Amino acid sequence: MYSGWSESWFIAQNLSNHQRGIAIDTSLVKVTNSKLEYYGDYYYVDITSYDEYKMPTQMHELSKSAATYSYGISNKNTETLKKTPFAKTMNEEAKLLQKYCMGTGLSPLASEWWHFEDLETKEITKNNYSTGRYYITECYSL
């Protein structure tokens, strides 16, 4: 279907790690303007403008062009991933994103340059996985 990449590399076949709260989709931007804001006793940086870095594809483009690596490989072994060649479509900005996210302990998905998972948390919570099936049974707002 995707020149050697099966559909399961792009579309979760069951419950996704996003639904379990252990996966993120992210990109890089350069902040051009920000201001310090307060909420109660807390402060935060409000980013008011930024420039997006050019990435290999648009986020969520499900094609071979979006692949991080030259071939499909499990993200469970970080050392193996570090030795795996990047796909030809990976630019310097996308490689930098990989470096930043892997440096914090997140694991990339071979087929999507934007997708990262927290496999340590997945292991810790394996006996308490959410099913993702939540139902609203009461409404407290008027």
Q: What gap in Å lies between CA 41 and CA 96, rounded to an integer?
A: 35
Query: What residue segments make up the domains of the chain, in order of their start?
Result: 7-128
Neighbours of 90 (CB within 10 A): 21
Number of other residues whose CB lies within 10 A of the CB of residue 23: 19
Q: 44-71: per-residue pLDDT in tens?
A: 999 999 999 999 999 999 889 999 999 9
Reading phi first (left if > 0) and then psi (alpha if -120 to 50, else beta), residue 113 is in: alpha
Q: What is the pLDDT of residue 1?
A: 36
Show the beta-strand stretches assigned E in the chain.
23-25, 29-39, 42-52, 107-109, 112-117
pTM summary value: 0.80
> How many Cα atoms within 13 Å fall on the side-chain side of residue 3?
10
The confidence score (pLDDT) of residue 79 equals 85
| Amino acid at position 82, single letter | K
What is the predicted pLDDT for the residue at 98? Answer: 97
Q: Is 98 helix (H, G, I), strand (E, B) or coil?
A: helix
For residue 31, what are the β-bridge partners? 50
Task: List all residues 6 or more positions away from 51 whose beta carbon is below 8 Å from its beta carbon.
Answer: 29, 30, 32
Low-confidence ranges of the chain (pLDDT < 50): 1-2
